[in-house]
Amino acid sequence: MPSGVDPALCAKCKGVDRLCGRPVCPILRRLIESYRAASRLARSDLQTATPPSALVGERGYPSVRVGPIAAPEPGEAARNYEDYRGWWGRLTLEDIIALRASTVFSSFTVRVREAASGSRLLEATREAALSVKPVDAEFRFEKPPTPRPAFDGVLAPMGLSGVLRELRVVSNPVVPRRVDQLVGDGDVRAAEAVAELYAAGLDNYYLARLLSLGMLGVRYRRRLVPTRWAITAVDKMLGDLLLREVRRMPEYPHLSLHYSEYIGNRYAIVLAPGPWSFEMIEIWLPRSVWVRSGEPYIAVNFELRDGRARRPGVDGGYHAMRLPVLEHLRRVGRQATVVAVREVTPAYYAPVGSWQIRESVRAALSSQGVRLDDAAHLLRELSRRLETDVNLVLRRSTILKELVSGGRGAGWSWFEG
């Protein structure tokens, strides 16, 4: 919570007075949906399916909570409970919260170094997680699952939590042959396995699941990896892999702007002629999640063409934006100087994971975009799409400021009037 904000604000409000300024209390909304789900799932034995999905927590590391995430429906219908690409543009924020509030994190505790040996519960979790299609299973808990209201900027939300006593997979997991081979090969490094499976068409979400559950890499070095870390690690590994190709490609031919907007997040992706460099500008508007002050919070991270960089290695948002940009450049056969702007509005009142960053950037770059004449045209388009004063953004940026000040005499002086 930002400094100067009453840490007891939520306790004083109790979701009734809307003291935070949001239209809906995310805590109350989550609790309501969770209790509805709990009333349907309030029993110690469940026969249902996993999408498939699994989570490795980080609290208490190196002793962590691990387990599959159960959907409230069996069979193919379970896929919808973790279908990030299918959600984008179709589900509202309220839809996502309601959907995920009915899932159950079915957990047990294990030490991360036990990945090489594996308990009976861990092996059953892995068996289900290897599948590319939903897997029916029987879940037996110590006691009925209970609501667990929590939101996260990297992980998708979950609703209920139960301590798993027994897990039995009752349908046949669908596992790609090469995945089965690499999981069984204890001599292939994790980065090599991730690269090969990505080239074979398996997406970043599936690869993060394998890495998190300690199923890739040299056998004696395999560890369980908290899911939050695994997601960012896979984004970075794949981004670095693509960048090696992109750096050898010709430069992007013109200045363009691509845009998308989803569940209260605005994304503006600027592609400019020039060697690869990348800047992420993240703007959190007043009254948006995490920001209670009257001024926007702006964070800037970048990697420059000369090797200079300001990018925290564990910034999940940075790598979630960088990966789809590099995917697009590899697809069009170009390198570019890139500025990726994310503006978070008060409508995004509860974080639902970094998947929406990744899929929003992919959606923006799949659109035709606007071809820009010069830097002045760029600033006009940005000011039309963003709520934040573009002059404020320019003062905080590095690459965008360089593009504007070097824009054939147009841009900065024009915008200042």
What's the pLDDT tens digit per position in 137-152? 999 999 988 877 666 7
The pLDDT tens digits of the residues spanning 279-321 come to 999 999 988 777 777 889 999 999 998 878 876 556 789 999 9
The pLDDT of residue 30: 61
Q: Give me the mean pLDDT over the 194-210 stretch.
A: 98
CA 273 to chain centre: 28
Say if CB 81 and CB 100 are below 8 A apart.
yes
Q: Give me the mean pLDDT over the 266-274 stretch.
A: 97
Whole-angstrom distance, CA of residue 32 vs CA of residue 98: 9
The pLDDT of residue 329: 98
The pLDDT of residue 341: 98
The pLDDT of residue 171: 97
Whole-angstrom distance, CA of residue 305 vs CA of residue 301: 14
Strands 158-169 and 104-111, sheet pairing: parallel
The pLDDT of residue 46: 92
The pLDDT of residue 272: 97
pLDDT value at 376 more than 80: yes
pLDDT value at 366 more than 70: yes
Q: Can you give the residue ranges of every domain in the chain?
A: 19-169, 177-246, 256-415
The pLDDT of residue 121: 96
The pLDDT of residue 182: 97
Q: Give me the mean pLDDT over the 168-190 stretch.
A: 97
Most confident of 22-36, 162-176, 314-328: 162-176
Mean pLDDT of the chain: 88
- As a dihedral over the C-alpha atoms of residue 287, residue 293, residue 294, residue 295, rounded to 10 degrees, the angle is -100
The pLDDT tens digits of the residues spanning 220-253 come to 899 999 999 999 999 999 999 999 999 999 999 9
Q: Give me the mean pLDDT over the 28-39 stretch.
A: 62
Confidence bin at 172 (pLDDT 50/70/90): very high
The pLDDT of residue 1: 41
Confidence bin at 27 (pLDDT 50/70/90): low
Query: What is the Cβ-side half-sphere exposure of residue 208, based on CA atoms within 13 angstroms?
Result: 26
The pLDDT of residue 156: 85
Say if CB 249 and CB 347 are below 8 A apart.
no
The pLDDT tens digits of the residues spanning 205-225 come to 999 999 999 999 999 899 999
Q: pLDDT > 70: what percent of the chain?
A: 85
The pLDDT of residue 91: 97
Number of continuous H segments (helices) and E segments (strands) in the chain: 15, 14
The pLDDT of residue 146: 84
Q: Phi first, then psi: what are they for 342, rounded to 5°?
A: -120, 125
